[in-house]
């Protein structure tokens, strides 16, 4: 991460890989969903009750945008 005045540049890996992840709070969960959608491979997200409390029908909204996302029990 490089900070220059009011700009921040972040340089990371070229590609994200899917992985099993666990939600610890609402905002972190939303970030994990977005990262999982960008990643290559399958991402499984557990403890999604945090997301359910903050976002109504999140997976349905992402599906309408073309995301390959589903809720499993």
Ranges of each domain in the chain: 14-64
What's the pLDDT at 59? 93
Token representation of residue 39? 């990643």
Three-state DSSP class for residue 40: strand
CA distance 49 to 20: 16
What's the pLDDT at 21? 98
Q: Are 65 and 40 in contact (CB under 8 A)?
A: no
Residue 65 has pLDDT above 90, yes or no: yes
4-35 pLDDT per residue, tens: 999 999 888 899 999 999 999 999 999 999 99
HSE (side-chain half, CA atoms, 13 Å) at 46? 4
What's the pLDDT at 1? 87
CA distance 15 to 3: 23
32-47 pLDDT per residue, tens: 999 999 999 999 999 9
């Amino acid at each position: 991460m490089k900070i220059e005045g009011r700009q921040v540049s972040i340089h990371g890996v070229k590609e994200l890989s899917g992985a099993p992840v666990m939600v610890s709070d609402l905002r972190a969960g939303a970030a994990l969903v977005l990262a999982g959608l960008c990643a290559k491979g399958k991402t499984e997200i557990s403890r999604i009750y945090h997301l359910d409390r903050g976002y109504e029908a999140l997976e349905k909204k992402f599906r309408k945008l073309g995301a390959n996302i589903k809720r499993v029990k």
